[in-house]
Amino acid sequence: MKARIRERALQLGFDVFGAAPAVPPPHGKAFVDWLRAGRHAGMAYLERRAAERLDPGRVLPGAKSVLAVGCAYGSTEAERTEAAANEGIVARYARRLDYHKIMGKRLKELADFVQELGGPGCRARAYVDTGPILEREYAWLAGLGFIGKNTQLIHPRFGNWLLLGVVLTTLEIEPERPLPNRCGSCRRCLDACPTGALRKPFELDATRCAAYWTIEARDGIPRELRGSFGNRLFGCDACLEACPWNRRSGPGALFGPETQWSSGRLDCAELLRLEDEAFRVRFRGTPLLRPKRRGLVRNACVALGNVGGASALASLEELANSEDETLAEHARWAAARIRDRLGAP
């Protein structure tokens, strides 16, 4: 039965598949301690449904198995991330259309297949980073990879570049064996983190994470962190790019080079001038809608403050007069940084 489900998963375009028992996550206590320490920053939704994340039976009563899948989104070519004047970098996963929709449709088909295979009474429910499930934990239990010191799942072939989804089901499927950690003494990811968000191996502090601040946060970015962001406009791949397990990675079946909508580099000065409707049209169907126009403009100010040139000053000075004090403050900060670099008054 598992072989048939695996075959169907691969037919649907998923690159890897595995099964895990629907047991409480082995690192559940560490998750609770992480929440209590406030390391989740402003992501209150993680705390609100913590009880469900610690027991898949609360999400799907009678659940016996968790089927985990992954879609690779690596590249066969080197990704350029060095700063260029006025240019901001978008995290690699967001250079394609929103994976939630692309994977979600296919994962629902897989869940339907499992229900049909299981017969009357069998239930299955699919999630792609949207439900109260610790996907990474079950992907590890399902043998899709090991959890690295950067807190990311690392697949032996695809490295860090793997988007995850799960299907909870009342059907009992023989589980895989989880892989042991293979990081060894390597600490490249910890050393690469620009803000020190990886406090120690296997622990991420979201209150310092550039990805959190440029994607999830709705408030102003702390001044003490802004200079460390470099030209990161949306997300941060620093700890991912540093991992040596990526040396053999490449694109998968669903997310190959032909599916890219962006090179990953956007003109930040141009973004400052986008109106709401133009923003929605330009980024429709992409992950960049997540922070809304306000969040992306805020991020663009920070990137310009770090790598912007004289040509960005006019747009920043105009934004500095905005009624939105958060955006105005970020614009003033960025303009002052550019003038300091140029030696201008």
Give 184's DSSP letter: T
Residues 96 and 21 in one domain: yes
- Residue 249 domain-assigned? no
Contact between 316 and 270 (Cβ < 8 Å):
no
Helix (H) or strand (E) holding 329: helix 325-342
Quick check: 345 pLDDT over 80? no
pLDDT at 83: 54
pLDDT at 75: 76
Residues 134 and 267 in one domain: no
Residues 15 and 99 in one domain: yes
For the chain, give the percent of residues with pLDDT over 90. Answer: 90
Residues 117 and 237 in one domain: no
Residues 102 and 214 in one domain: no
Mean pLDDT to the nearest integer, 204-229:
98
Largest CA distance in the chain: 75
What residue numbers bound the domain in which 337 lies?
203-244+263-342
Average pLDDT over the chain reads: 94
Contact between 203 and 39 (Cβ < 8 Å):
yes
Residues 208 and 164 in one domain: no
- Residue 197 domain-assigned? no
The last residue of a domain, from among 116, 148, 169: 169
For the chain, give the percent of residues with pLDDT over 70. Answer: 97
Taking only Cα atoms into account, the Rg of the chain, rounded to an integer number of angstroms, comes to 21
Residues 32 and 163 in one domain: yes
Strands 162-169 and 124-127: antiparallel
Residues 230 and 280 in one domain: yes
Going by pLDDT thresholds of 50, 70 and 90, the confidence category of residue 263 is: confident
- Residue 195 domain-assigned? no
| Least reliable range by pLDDT among 17-31, 65-79, 215-229 | 65-79
Nearest to 132 by CA among 28, 254, 258: 28
- Residue 86 domain-assigned? no
pLDDT at 76: 60
pLDDT digits (tens, 9 = 90+) for 72-124: 998 765 554 555 789 999 999 999 999 999 999 999 999 999 999 999 999 99
For the entire predicted model, the pTM comes to 0.94
> How does DSSP assign 113-126, residue by residue?
HHHHHH-TT--EEE
- Residue 163 domain-assigned? yes
pLDDT digits (tens, 9 = 90+) for 29-68: 999 999 999 999 999 999 999 999 999 999 999 999 999 9
In whole angstroms, give the CA distance from residue 158 to residue 243.
Answer: 11
Residues 157 and 218 in one domain: no
Query: Which are the catalytic amino acids?
Result: 129
Residues 153 and 23 in one domain: yes
In whole angstroms, give the CA distance from residue 316 to residue 322.
Answer: 10
- Residue 187 domain-assigned? no
pLDDT digits (tens, 9 = 90+) for 295-334: 999 999 999 999 999 999 999 999 999 999 999 999 999 9
pLDDT at 79: 53
pLDDT at 88: 96
Residues 165 and 210 in one domain: no
- Residue 129 domain-assigned? yes
- Residue 188 domain-assigned? no
How many domains, the chain?
Answer: 2
Residues 151 and 267 in one domain: no
Mean pLDDT to the nearest integer, 141-145:
98
